[in-house]
Structure 1
Amino acid sequence: MSADSSDLCQSNSQPQTKRGFERRLAFVLSATSLFLEKGYDAVALDDIVNHSGGSKASIYKYFGNKKGLFKAICDYRRDLLFKDLFQENNPAYALDLELFLTQTLDNFYQHISTIENQKFIRLLFEQVKSNPDLLEYLYQECPEKILDRVSQQLAYAHENKTIFCENPAYAAQVYLGILWRIEWRLLMGIPPTETDAQIQDYLKYSIELFLKSLKPL
């Protein structure tokens, strides 16, 4: 089996030193930049090495192969997404459901509004078409975990009688659907027809309507 033959490859080795972590991150950032600029198939490992420094031996050591490197990029960007979405260091965030729902949806909108994130999601869609293992892995690691996080917040509010929500998982899907039209327009490269202020008004209205439907009986 060649170094690039497996469809989904775990990293062969995790860095043990600060320099190792920095080198691994440099590969992730350089490869991301090149993939977004030229496309995944047009970029060779030599291109990444020339862009970031280091050696191909280090890429094989940390990622196993090119597909393992791409998976590491997905993991890295997933972590950034969750950091953007959920402000876990804000004490009021876990206690105030309206604040949680408002900020999470606004954070998600701001995330998908950036050109780089839109480009990466399109690149991701291209790659998972030929890699079902990566598709299943990323679905469980991103959309499902976002859904679970929102479900947990709704379940917590239900237990504390802030809302009445017997099926938090269903309600979380309804909530996340608020952005589907805007999200798909952005991912397809169609500029929003609304101003940013109008979108903010829409989000505020939708969250108020969503919470009204969950008022305790």
Structure 2
Amino acid sequence: MTAQPSEYHRRVAAQKRTSIIEAATRLFLDSGYDGTSLARVAEAAGVSRATLFKQFTTKAALFEAIVTEYWKVDEEEAPLPEPGDLRAGLETIGRRYVALLTQPGMAALFRIVIAEVPRFPELGETQFELGKMPYFESVRRYLAAENAAGTALLDDAEMAATQFLGMISTYVFWPRMLLARWEPDDSALTNAVDQAVLTMLARYGAPGSHGA
């Protein structure tokens, strides 16, 4: 009979995993995907190679963990808004999206993928399938729920989600990819969300159903 790991051992394993992901992220950002080896990650994380390989058997698996960590949204702590007030729901989702896109390292992570994808196309697939798509799907589900509740009038929740997130990321995120000093202040970020919400309300909001 195999003994179950104790709470202490689980905590230590989680701490080592965090150290590995943080070290790998720094190395990927500094040296690129191809220029980072698992041996260097183990050294930078202060763990043995055996410990690293126990957690991540390949560099691709480690990169997948990093992408998942960057895009992670705890739906228990930050659940999707309840349908019924389209304005309030979109404002909540928009603010969360801004926080996600502006977290330290997100733009650099995208730069790694864009730079390395000609040689490692699986990196683009990882960023899309494990990062962007799960978040996008949560927004699509919310809009579909508003449609079912009669507070939004839309034929295609997927397209509506694409439009809403696109309006925000076009201002908040994509200029960062080319402009090193692109740092709009909080009021500008809030305004970007507010304008995207107003556009969505004008296009998809059911009359009188989206709050004041």
**Paired amino acid for 2:129:** Q
Could you tell me which of 53, 61, 66 is aligned with 2:59?
Answer: 66
Return 5+ residue gaps in structure 2 as ranges: 208-212
Q: What residue in structure 1 maps to residue 82 of structure 2?
A: 94
Q: Say yes or no: does 1:32 pair with 2:25.
A: yes
CA distance 1:190–1:156, change in 2 (3 Å)? same
C-alpha change, 1:201 and 1:35, in structure 2 (3 Å) is same
Matched residues in 1 for 2:200 and 2:64: separation? 35
Distance 1:109 1:73 in 2: 19
For 1:1-217, list aligned pairs within 5 A.
Answer: 17-18=9-10, 19-79=12-72, 82-83=73-74, 88-89=76-77, 93-95=81-83, 96-182=85-171, 183-192=173-182, 195-216=185-206
Taking the aligned partners of 2:139 and 2:23, their CA distance within structure 1 comes to: 33
Query: Comparing both chains, which one has the higher relative contact order based on Cα–Cα distances under 8 Å and sequence gaps of 6 or more?
Result: 2
RMSD (CA atoms): 2.7
Deviations 1:156-181 (A, max 9, x none): 11111112112111111111111242
What SS is found at the alignment partner of 2:66? helix
Aligned partners of 2:16, 2:80: CA distance in 1, in Å? 37
Give the secondary-structure state (helix, strand or coil) at the position aligned to 1:94.
Answer: coil
Residue 53 of structure 1 and its aligned partner are, at CA, apart by 1.7
Instruction: Kindly state the Cα deviation for residue 91 of structure 1 after the two structures are TM-superposed.
Output: 7.1
> Match of 1:163, as an amino acid?
A
Q: How many residues align?
A: 198
Q: Which amino acid aligns with 1:150?
A: V
AA partner of residue 164 (structure 2): Y
Question: SS of 1:142's equivalent?
Answer: helix
Identity %: 21
2:203 aligned partner, one-letter code: S
Q: What is the SS of the residue equivalent to 2:204?
A: coil
